Amino acid sequence: MGQPPATGSIAELGEFGLVDALAALFPTGPEVQLGPGDDAAVLAVDGGQVVVSVDMLVEREHFRRDWSSASDIGAKAAAENLSDINAMGGRAVALLVALGAPPELEVRWATDFAAGLAEEAGRVGASVVGGDVTRADVIIVSVTAIGRCEHGVVMRSGARPGDIVAMAGRQGWAAAGFAVLARGFRSPRAVVDAHLRPQPPYLAGPEAARLGATSLIDVSDGLLQDLGHIAAASGVAIDLSRGRLEIAEPLQSVGAALGVDPMEFVLTGGDDYCLVGTFPAETALGESWRPIGAVLDGPAGVVTVDGETPEGARGHQHFR
């Protein structure tokens, strides 16, 4: 097993460096078919497989109570975890939920949170089957999702040169909503709602697996950054076509109002939980999927747009 760096801070190491350092310390048993490094782990069980993922939401880091209702926060906590199972080509069947909260928090907030979470879980037929509550200085939510992949597991590491890159769902809306809220506004309402309550394309993950997707990921931290994970894991390069990336009218309006290129919302924004995947070139994509680029035989991990490397941040980074 490897050892993490003995000196330096987490900020210096970075989110993904920290994950790699910690994962190196965890041996895996024979039941583990896929460990850390993808959207979910894959475990062998009698008669098949289960996929398992966990995520956290921390107050003031991932949500603000003056922006989001308790129900909104519950729905978002469910959505980001259900999306991880979706990104493996599967469907979540159960959630475990842990809630840390200040003692003075009203019970009504907790029940509204639970209602929002249950409502979102119900969109895929998942049940909340347990969890934990404890005291904390701020609200902390941890959700573990358990699911299955009826058409087989799709990992990040299978993209091949010649594959097409395709997207399902909308991208950049939540980032535009965050930009609006951060400046003290509440409109356009469509993008604000997209930030408060994501709408992952839950049917698209199993569909991608059925269509023979070679790799799959959900966009939680930015299109460029998350496609970079596919490119690195697969040992390929990816080139996106700017002309195929949709900039919806609400994003154009926000960009014009704030003096921002709305393409930045699409390329680097997260929290919409759209899916991006790679498919053999001859695949007849369904209505859920639209081509946005190609997989190339190039430097591993490189993602370009019309052959050029975009400047600036590629997506959200924790600890910075």
Q: What is the pLDDT of residue 312?
A: 63
DSSP code string of the chain: -----SSS-HHHH-HHHHHHHHHTT----TTEEE-SSSSSEEEEETTEEEEEEEEEEEBTTTB-TTTS-HHHHHHHHHHHHHHHHHTTT-EEEEEEEEEEE-TTS-HHHHHHHHHHHHHHHHTTT-EEEEEEEEE-SS-EEEEEEEEE-TT----STT--TTPEEEEES--SHHHHHHHHHHTT---SHHHHHHHHS----TTHHHHHHHHT-SEEEE-SS-HHHHHHHHHHHHT-EEEE-GGGS---HHHHHHHHHHT--THHHHHH--SS--EEEEE-TT----TT-EEEEEEESSSTT-EEETTBPPPS--S--TT-
Give CATH for domain 39-148: 3.30.1330.10
Lowest mean pLDDT among 134-138, 201-205, 278-282, 315-319: 315-319
**Comma-separated ranges of CATH 3.90.650.10 domains in the chain:** 164-305
Where, residue-wise, is CATH 3.30.1330.10 in the chain? 39-148
Per-residue model confidence (pLDDT) at position 317? 56
Region 302-311: mean pLDDT is 94
Question: Looking at the domain covering 164-305, what would its CATH class be?
Answer: alpha beta
Q: What pLDDT score was predicted for residue 253?
A: 96
Least confident of 150-154, 202-206, 312-316: 312-316
Q: 76-111 pLDDT, tens per residue?
A: 999 999 999 999 999 999 999 999 999 999 999 999
pLDDT of 146 > 90? The answer is yes
* The pLDDT of residue 67: 95
* pLDDT over 90 percentage in the chain: 82
Q: What is the pLDDT of residue 20?
A: 77
pLDDT at 1: 46
